[in-house]
C-alpha cells in the first residue's frame, strides 16, 4: 500500500503543470553514535509526510520527525555498507539525500597471507613478479596508499613497484633491483606491508617467499689443480690409483658432475679408467715400469646442465719398480760353544752375537733399517757399515731377576713397498755363584726336656739360595757343640747325648749353611735351646748330727729344736746365656716332744 501511495504521489508530482521536485543534501559521518542529528528537512510548512525511497533503509537506520522535520541516526552507520539514504517529504515534493561521510575504519587487506614467487638467478634488473594487491573499502586517502618491504630484503636486492588502476586499486609488483646469486642466497622471506592514508595509518602484511632458481653459471672446480700418485708395476687390473674430487656450486643437474679422461690429450692406450660418478681412477691394463714409469692423465669434470660447463685437472701416475726380495738375517752367537748363552757376570759392552743383514736386491742391500726389540733395555745393536750388527750388553745382567730373554731382530729394506724380515732368538743367562744361602730366620728358639733321650729332634732350620745347580745346593753344619748334631741336607737338629740342665740350662748353637759353589758361600743363624730341669737331686740336712737339751719343766707343745734341709737347684737369667749355681734352704723341719712331769 505504501509503495502504491509513493507511486501515486510521485506520479502526481511529475504530472504536467505541477511544481518541479526539489532536492536537499545532508551529510553525516559513519560510525556516528545513535541519536546524532543529521539535519532538518527545512521545508516551508511542516508537518510532513515522509516517504522513503525503496531500498534506502531510512526507517531502519534513521529517525525522521514528521512534525519538525529533524533527522537523526537510529544506529551507527557504515558507509561501506550503505553510502547514502534518500526520502521524499510531501506535499512539498522535497527529496532529501543523506550522504554518509567516510572514516578510516578499514585497514588494507591482502587476499592471502603469503605467496610464493620465483626468480631465475640470471634475471635481468627490474624483472617483475605481480603480487596480489591489498584492497581497502574506505575512500580517498583512507584507501591503500603505499607498500613497503619491512624485513627479509637482504642486500636490498628487491624493491616494490606500485601503480593505481582505473578501478582505484593500488596494484603491486616485486622487482629485483640487483643481481641475484643462488649460490650466495637461494631463498628470501620478505614481509610486505600495505598502508592507507589515515593518521595513524592502518596496515596489513603479506609474506612473500622468494626462491632464486638456479642456472648453470658455475663450472666444476677441482680441489687440486694437479694430483700425484704411484702404483707398483705389478698392480692388477682394477687396482685403485687415486680419487679426484670436484665440486659445482650449482644445484640439480647443473651441479651434478661426470668425470672422464681426455683420451685425445692423454692415455690413448687406455691403461687407466675413471669412475664417472665418484672420480676414482683404476688400473685398466697391465703396467710396465721398464716401458714407461710415468703417465700423465687429463681428468675432465663436466656438469650436466643444458649447456654443460667443465674443468680439467692433471694426474701424474708414477709406476714404481717392484721390490720382491725381503732382507735375509743371519745370527751367529759369540759364546765359546756357539750357543745362545751369556754368563750373568758378563759386563756391559761385551758382545754376545753377530747379525748379518743382506738383501738380494743389490741396490738396496746396505740401506736396510735394522731394529732390536724384546731385551728390556739389556741389549742394544751397534753397527759401522749397516751390514754387520753386533748385539751388545747394555746393562748388568742378573740371572736371578730374569734368566731368559727373547730378542727379535727386524730388518726393513727401502724398497717400495718396503719388505721386512723378522728373526727371533732366545738368549739364556747362565748362573754364577753370587748369592749366599739365606736362613728363613736369623735366630731360632727351641725347648728340650733334660730327660730327653739321644736322637731326640730339637728343631729343623731352613735356608734358600736363588742360584741354580751346585751353586744352590745347601749343606748345614753346627759349631762348638757335643750335645747336638744336624742333618747336613735337611737341617734337622737332634741330640747325640743326654743334656744336663745343671751343666748348661740354655745352650746356644751356631748353624752354618753353605752352598756348593766354587768358591762356596755361606751364612749362619743361632739356635737357643732351653733345657727344662728334671728333679734328679735328693734333699740334704744342713748337719749330719744335732744335739740339744730339754728342761724337765718345758711345757707340752713347745719347740725345742729346728733342723734345716738344703737342695741343689739351678737358676738362670733371661738376659744372659750363663748359669749360676747356689744353695738355698729348701724347707725346714722342727722336732716336737712331750715333757712328762
Give the residue-averaged pLDDT of 277-301. 92
pTM (2 decimals)? 0.42
Please check the confidence at residue 586 and state whether its pLDDT lies above 70. Answer: no
Q: Report d(CA 478, CA 485) in Å as an integer.
A: 7
User: What's the CATH superfamily of 437-583?
Assistant: Cadherins (2.60.40.60)
Mean pLDDT rounded to a whole number for the chain: 84
Q: Report d(CA 185, CA 160) in Å as an integer.
A: 20
Residues carrying CATH 2.60.40.60, the chain: 23-101, 114-213, 221-320, 328-430, 437-583
Please check the confidence at residue 584 and state whether its pLDDT lies above 70. Answer: no
pLDDT in tens, 149-177: 999 999 899 999 999 999 889 999 999 98
Give the residue-averaged pLDDT of 103-116. 89
Give the residue-averaged pLDDT of 448-456. 91
CATH annotation of 221-320? 2.60.40.60
pLDDT score, position 529: 93
288: Cα separation from own chain's centroid: 47
CA distances to 6, 60, 90 from 3, rounded to whole Å, are: 5, 17, 14
pLDDT score, position 44: 65
Q: Report d(CA 284, CA 287) in Å as an integer.
A: 9
Q: How confident is the model at residue 585 (pLDDT cuts 50, 70, 90)?
A: very low
What is the SS3 assignment for 396?
coil
Lowest mean pLDDT among 382-386, 392-396, 444-448: 382-386
Which has more pLDDT, 42 or 447? Answer: 447
Rg of the chain in Å (alpha carbons): 66
Give the residue-averaged pLDDT of 238-243. 94
pLDDT score, position 19: 55
328-430 to CATH, choices 3.40.640.10, 2.60.40.60, 2.40.110.10, 1.10.150.240: 2.60.40.60
Please check the confidence at residue 89 and state whether its pLDDT lies above 90. Answer: no
DSSP 346: P
Which of 596, 591, 595, 597 is closest to 560 using CA atoms? 591
pLDDT score, position 84: 83
Please check the confidence at residue 286 and state whether its pLDDT lies above 80. Answer: yes
pLDDT score, position 536: 62
Indicate the helix (H) or strand (E) that contains 428: strand 420-430
pLDDT in tens, 397-425: 888 888 899 999 998 888 777 888 999 99
Determine contact, residues 309/219, Cβ cutoff 8 Å: yes
Q: How confident is the model at residue 453 (pLDDT cuts 50, 70, 90)?
A: very high
Which has more pLDDT, 540 or 556? Answer: 556
pLDDT score, position 520: 92
Lowest mean pLDDT among 229-238, 385-394, 525-534, 538-547: 538-547
The CATH fold assigned to 23-101 is: Immunoglobulin-like (2.60.40)
Q: Report d(CA 174, CA 194) in Å as an integer.
A: 13
Which of 93, 32, 81 is closest to 57 using CA atoms? 81
pLDDT score, position 596: 39
Strands 49-52 and 37-40, by their bridges, are unpaired
Which has more pLDDT, 451 or 574? Answer: 451
Q: How many CB atoms lie within 10 A of CB 255?
A: 18
CATH 2.60.40.2310 corresponds to the domain 114-213 = no
pLDDT score, position 474: 94
Residue 483's φ and ψ, nearest 5 degrees, are -85, -25
Q: How many CB atoms lie within 10 A of CB 262?
A: 14
Give the residue-averaged pLDDT of 223-234. 92
Amino acid at each position: 500500500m505504501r509503495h502504491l501511495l509513493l507511486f501515486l504521489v510521485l506520479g502526481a508530482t511529475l504530472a504536467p503543470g505541477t511544481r518541479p521536485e526539489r532536492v536537499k543534501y545532508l551529510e553525516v559521518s559513519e560510525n556516528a553514535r545513535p541519536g546524532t542529528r543529521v539535519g532538518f528537512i527545512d521545508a516551508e510548512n511542516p508537518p510532513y509526510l515522509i516517504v522513503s525511497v525503496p531500498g534506502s533503509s531510512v526507517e531502519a537506520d534513521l529517525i525522521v520527525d514528521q512534525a519538525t522535520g529533524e533527522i537523526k541516526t537510529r544506529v551507527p552507520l557504515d558507509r561501506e555498507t550503505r553510502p547514502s539514504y534518500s526520502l521524499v517529504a510531501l506535499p512539498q515534493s522535497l527529496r532529501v539525500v543523506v550522504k554518509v561521510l567516510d572514516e578510516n575504519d578499514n585497514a588494507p587487506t591482502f587476499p592471502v597471507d603469503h605467496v610464493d614467487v620465483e626468480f631465475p638467478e640470471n634475471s635481468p634488473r627490474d624483472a617483475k613478479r605481480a603480487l596480489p594487491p591489498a584492497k581497502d573499502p574506505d575512500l580517498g586517502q583512507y584507501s591503500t596508499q603505499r607498500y613497503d618491504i619491512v624485513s627479509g630484503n637482504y642486500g636490498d636486492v628487491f624493491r616494490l613497484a606500485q601503480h593505481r588502476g582505473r578501478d582505484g586499486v593500488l596494484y603491486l609488483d616485486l622487482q629485483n633491483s640487483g643481481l641475484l646469486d643462488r649460490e650466495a642466497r637461494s631463498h628470501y622471506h620478505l614481509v610486505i606491508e600495505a598502508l592507507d592514508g589515515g593518521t595513524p595509518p592502518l596496515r596489513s602484511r603479506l609474506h612473500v617467499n622468494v626462491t632464486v632458481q638456479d642456472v648453470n653459471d658455475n663450472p666444476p672446480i677441482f680441489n687440486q689443480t694437479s694430483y700425484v700418485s704411484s702404483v707398483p708395476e705389478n698392480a692388477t687390473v682394477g687396482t685403485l690409483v687415486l680419487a679426484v674430487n670436484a665440486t659445482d656450486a650449482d644445484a640439480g643437474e647443473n651441479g651434478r658432475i661426470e668425470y672422464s679422461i681426455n683420451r685425445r690429450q692423454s692415455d690413448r692406450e687406455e691403461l687407466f679408467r675413471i669412475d664417472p660418478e665418484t672420480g676414482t681412477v683404476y688400473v685398466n691394463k697391465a703396467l710396465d715400469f721398464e716401458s714407461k714409469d710415468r703417465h700423465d692423465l687429463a681428468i675432465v669434470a663436466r656438469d650436466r646442465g643444458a649447456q654443460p660447463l667443465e674443468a680439467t685437472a692433471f694426474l701424474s701416475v708414477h709406476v714404481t719398480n717392484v721390490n720382491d726380495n725381503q732382507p735375509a738375517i743371519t745370527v751367529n752367537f759369540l759364546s765359546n760353544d756357539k750357543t745362545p748363552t751369556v754368563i750373568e757376570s758378563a759386563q756391559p759392552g761385551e758382545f754376545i752375537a753377530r747379525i748379518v743383514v743382506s738383501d738380494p736386491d743389490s741396490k738396496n742391500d746396505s740401506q736396510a733399517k735394522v731394529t732390536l726389540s724384546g731385551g728390556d733395555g739389556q741389549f742394544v745393536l751397534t753397527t759401522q757399515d749397516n751390514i754387520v750388527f753386533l748385539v751388545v750388553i747394555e746393562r748388568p745382567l742378573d740371572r736371578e731377576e730374569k734368566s731368559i730373554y727373547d730378542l727379535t731382530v727386524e730388518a726393513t729394506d727401502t724398497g717400495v713397498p718396503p719388505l721386512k724380515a723378522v728373526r727371533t732368538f732366545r738368549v739364556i743367562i747362565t748362573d754364577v755363584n753370587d748369592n749366599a744361602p739365606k736362613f728363613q730366620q736369623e735366630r731360632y728358639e727351641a725347648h728340650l726336656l733334660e730327660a730327653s733321650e739321644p736322637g731326640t729332634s730339637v728343631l729343623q732350620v731352613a735356608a734358600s739360595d736363588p742360584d741354580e745347580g751346585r751353586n744352590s745346593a745347601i749343606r748345614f753344619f753346627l759349631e762348638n757343640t757335643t750335645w747336638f748334631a744336624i742333618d747336613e741336607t735337611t737341617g734337622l737338629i737332634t741330640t747325640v747325648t743326654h743334656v744336663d740342665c745343671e751343666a748348661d740350662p740354655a745352650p746356644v748353637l751356631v748353624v752354618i749353611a753353605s752352598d756348593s759353589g766354587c768358591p762356596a758361600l755361606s751364612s749362619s743363624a743361632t739356635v737357643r735351646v732351653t733345657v727344662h730341669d728334671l728333679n734328679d737331686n735328693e734333699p740334704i740336712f744342713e748337719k749330719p748330727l744335732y744335739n740339744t737339751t730339754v728342761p724337765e719343766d718345758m711345757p707340752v707343745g713347745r719347740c725345742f729344736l729346728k733342723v734345716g734341709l738344703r737342695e741343689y737347684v739351678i737358676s738362670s737369667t733371661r738376659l744372659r746365656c750363663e748359669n749360676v749355681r747356689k744353695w738355698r734352704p729348701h724347707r725346714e723341719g722342727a722336732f716336737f716332744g712331750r715333757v712328762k712331769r
